[in-house]
Amino acid sequence: MHKLPAEGMTLTVQADKVMGPPRLGAFRIAIDIPGVLEERHLEGARRSAEKCLVKNTLLMAPSIELTVRAAQAVA
């Protein structure tokens, strides 16, 4: 996608909430690229988006470390 013009490009993400435990269960992502007429450019954009760091992280559940601690008051 680095060769396609970014001006006017939009990315829309929609997600469905599911229960057990409450979380986002499904995502739909749409990338709209104005002025692209050739299918090969759209396919190139799709291949690039498939390599997205966030997408790949969500597909391969990461380990998550949660720390809760008392904060010290600032004098």
Q: Tell me: the pLDDT tens digits for 37-74?
A: 789 989 999 999 999 999 999 999 999 999 999 998 88
CA atoms in the 13 A half-sphere facing the CB of 1: 18
CB 32: neighbour CB atoms within 10 A? Answer: 10
Q: Is the pLDDT higher at 32 or at 3?
A: 32
Q: How does residue 1 score in pLDDT terms, banded at 50, 70 and 90?
A: low
Q: Give me the residue spans of the domains in the chain.
A: 10-59
Q: What are phi and psi of 24, to 5 degrees?
A: -90, 125
Alpha-carbon gap, residue 15 to 25, rounded angstroms: 7
Q: Judge whether residue 2 has pLDDT over 90.
A: no
